[in-house]
Structure 1
Amino acid sequence: MQNEHIAAAKNLATNLIEILAAQGIDLKRTQALEVVSKLQDHTDWNRLSAKLKGRGKQGKSRETAAFALISRPGYGKTETIRALFELECADGETCPLLIDVGGCGTLADLVGKDPFMVARDRIKLFYDNTGIVHVEKTYTDLCREPVGRGLVVDLWPLGNYHELRKFSGVALAQFLDNPAKYVREPLLKRIGTVFLDEYHRLEDQDVACCEAMGRFIKGLTNLRRVVIGTQLVLTPEATEAIGLPFCHLIPEPELVFRQHKWPWVYRALPKDLPWESESLDDHRVVSDLLMKSFGITNSKSPRTHPIGASRLGRLPGHVTWFKQLRDAVWK
């Protein structure tokens, strides 16, 4: 008995034949299957069907992993986080949590100008040298089902930015150790991917925050993955504190800039990296989006998107699952 993925692909081929027949175009079934294969970024039906058979045997993967996106400013880390956050929002199966620890809400403030992102739930945590002192919450629809279609948490210093930035780690640890104080329980139960941007700004609080992160994610029932954007590598102590298998993703040009010895798992990503992920649950989507974002942010072509708007509309991707979610965000 064929699995559901192969059946869906064959049904798609049948629909294609019927649609073209209505337009007076005769398409053979073998040709339709080849077209469906190319839409899924495979060269022929034999390769696609083999991949779908394997997917049917393995089932849907929910293995949790963690990634650190490492590069200098302007190399696509934040764009990758935004893109993956928006895809998970459009998917709707889980609620992604995006935490900006930049100390001034830079990422979240930019996200707030995105027409798609304006509809996300948002929490502002104002802090001083003692930690969180004031909270502002904006929920888009308390009665919505399913509860939570994306949550943004941004940290803002209540006073001099340069003096208080180093205390963002204290505020972050407070939030992670007692999330129920700030986030509704139904929303907490739906959290999928946890994003942490500007990790390097935690300075000497990084290990303590990673320990708090480890405790936090242990309480999540639908955790998909953890993605961290940073200009510095995470130490073995920090990755051990989070408690997940960690992989550092680094664009190949950055290896020249960062002369490190790598005692832990890392992957250098070439500019011509082919698209590998087969679904939003496939962890290779992180490296796919990082290199697509890297290509755009380092291209010399002028920007065609509104300031603050999602770049997903410009990210190339030929596989059906990605195009469907991208279009849901970009429409």
Structure 2
Amino acid sequence: MRRTTAVLLWVLTLHASAAGQDFPSKPVKLVVPFPPGGPLDISGRMIGKELQDRWGQPVVVENKPGSTIGPEYVAKSAPDGYTLMIISSTPFVTLPHLQKVPYDALKDLVGVTQTTLLTYAFVVNPATGIGSIQDLIARAKKDPGRFNYASAGNGSGQHLYVELLKHAADINLTHVPYKGAAPALQAVLSGEPGMMLDVTVAVVPHVKAGKLRALLVTGSTPLEQLPGAVPFDSLFPGLGIPGWHGVFTTGGTPRPVLDKLAADIRSVLRIPAVANRFRELGVEPSGVSGDAFNDVARRDYERWGEIIRRNNLRAD
């Protein structure tokens, strides 16, 4: 009996290993759970093209906008690695805390590779007279609720990161949600609300033009494009939560297939033209894969869950 079991395990191991070596043998879908034209869509199509050239198999990008449509589609696909999804950390690890979702983000989906790290910047309209993040914190403590901030909507990354800042600094800012980042940014440029947090690529041109002032950037490293903006982690050590984009597939996909996908995606991220294009989009290539990436997703899932529950936040 033991010998039969050992032989069966050996055969299954050989089969799984062969599946990884032969992958892919047919077209691969890459789901983007956002509309065409945005940074994540551009990233997905760039990675998809390079993988297609590498594999000699079509990589078909499918846009499935809507809060749960894309993740649910991938979660309920066959666990064979032929259906992938590129998504940002918010909403991936935050949406299940904000509303009911028809999948388990940490079981029905598995991380393949963290493709990029992204940085947000907290900016103010110069008309506010606020000159630094320390100045904002001091004024907000002196007059709680006086200052309004814009976001792309309830539960958006822009919203949640300001809630993280409010918790870290122990201040009260009033949230004014808009239907998307673009109208929120236009409102801040017009002067009311007077501040917001947005991806750096969106705000850098306005900061350089003198229309906005950058006070803070997420992460631990100062940005050359935004001199004077203080890194969140240096101001509040241990409280920051990095933003990222990553590729996921269906839970239960064989390890050799996951390893093959991760290795090939990492190779794409090391292509100079790809890395440079990512930096133009305001993100930094990563490449963290496998268990290490899934540990990041699990940690961020738990930490954002605490923030969301503490503030009783819900999605639109």
What is the TM-score when the length of structure 1 is the normalising length? Answer: 0.26
Say which structure, 1 or 2, has more relative contact order (CA 8 Å, 6+ apart): 2
